[in-house]
Chains A and B, each alone.
Chain A
Amino acid sequence: MSDNVLIRAENVRKSFSGKDVLKGIDLEIHRGEVVVIIGPSGSGKSTFLRCLNLLEVPTGGHIFFKDVDITDKKVNIDLHRQKMGMVFQHFNLFPHMDILRNMTIGPVKLLKKSEEEAEKYAMALLERVGLADRAHAYPSQLSGGQKQRIAIVRALCMQPEVMLFDEPTSALDPEMVGEVLQVMRDLAKERMTMVIVTHEMGFAREVADRVVFLEEGILMEQNDPVNFFEHPQNERLKSFLGKVL
């Protein structure tokens, strides 16, 4: 396996109560690469993303993270998840903690950082996304766009090696999409490894190193963004792009 491969999905299958959602997906994510997964709703793209950190346990196949098979039951998945940040469609901030605590609880409790050290790092991240003044606000006091930016930096506080984004802008009002995409754009520029499930085609085209098209649980096509959007090969992809572009 190439040293450059951070995550390797091997023939990943998932079925929910007899219904096959993923029908054997192979995909490699390289270090520093931004991979965008698109597809119609119900195509299994979110399920596949959630399989990468085992929030969904695949019914079959393997997921290798840094050459460790994390689908192996003997592996302590909690340790590997610390290195895989995840951002959800519905933010999932902890409502009973202020913003700073949302960000520091992981580093303090899991990475055994001191409160001061964790807060310093968190404040620096808040500064970067322009929310330092909200450090002591509670999630309910923030707008959707602000919540999602916090969710991103909360994940970054764990200093992950890859960030997984599950439709990060789908629950946002349109005028707030831009601020969240900007944070992700900045992350991509810093060569953070990212796997993004999104419906934002313009963003995919601009930021992705590789775009992947999933339909009915099958990886139909993957390519660099220019060829993906300009010269789609697969008929299904052509008709999908015809509808969304």
Chain B
Amino acid sequence: MGDFQARFYLNFIKDDRWTYIWNGLLVTLEVTLFATLIGILLGFLVAIIRSTHDRTGKMKLPNGVCQIYLTVIRGTPVVVQLLITYFLIFGSMKVSKVLVAVLAFGINSGAYVAEICRAGIMSIDIGQLEAGRSIGFSYAKTMWYIILPQAFKNVLPALGNEFIVLLKETSVSGYIALHDLTKGGDVIRSRTYDAFMPLIGVALIYLAMVLGFTKLVSMLERRLNQSER
């Protein structure tokens, strides 16, 4: 036990090493949060375009663009996308690494959110669209008032899952030397030559965040479901 205390002290207390973890955690949260926002906005837009195309045959060109986006993003590893964003797209520019990570992960997440949302929209019976249109709502208003609220409820678990995946995926940010949570633990390891404490510590923090968020989603889900029972 004395050994544990000594290692805990060495890895987290001595020289304020916990600040690597803390600052890394803040970066991880920052990147995840803003990437999620971009992902949802982008995914939502793509889903609307794609489902409108599927249902009405309109928007051929935007749909084509979306399909290329989905194919490229889903067909290549996120680490490669991150590196391309950093070294090729912003290669000659001085931009913050956080911004690079936010954009890369956001654009990546958008592709997955898009397919989740599209599936959600397509899962709503076509009769709902027809009922909305027959009352006199335009296609856009029918989507807004009738289809999307129902679709959102259906895709909430999948969206929550995508958020969790994204949170964990940001752990590869170290590839562009961004000091996120994972990198923070790794820095400590390289200083103390103790792999166990910092890495298990980092893992536990990820786990705690995922558990907390899972709980949040299931609470929201229950509240949304109340209306129908």
Contacts and interface: CB of A to CB of B under 8 A. Distances in A.
Contacts of B150: 94-96
B220 to A, nearest CB: 15
Q: Which size bracket describes the interface of A in this complex?
A: 20 to 34
B135 to A, nearest CB: 4
A110 B135 contact: yes
B136 A106 contact: yes
Contact of A138 (B134, B135, B141, B228): B228
Interface residues of B, number: 21
A158 interface: yes
A81 B145 contact: no
Interface stretch (B100-108, B124-132, B168-176): B124-132
B136 A96 contact: no
A71 interface: no
B146 A94 contact: yes
* B134, B150, B227 — most chain A CB neighbours (10 Å): B134
A109 B141 CA distance: 9
B128 A86 contact: no
B138 interface: yes
B137 interface: yes
Contact of A94 (B131, B141, B229): B131
Contacts of A88: 127, 130-131, 134
Interface of B: 125, 127-128, 130-138, 141, 145-146, 149-150, 153, 227-229
Given A88-B134, A96-B153, A140-B229, 16 more contacts: A53-B134, A55-B130, A81-B134, A84-B134, A88-B127, A88-B131, A92-B127, A93-B131, A94-B146, A96-B150, A110-B137, A138-B229, A155-B134, A155-B135, A158-B135, A158-B136
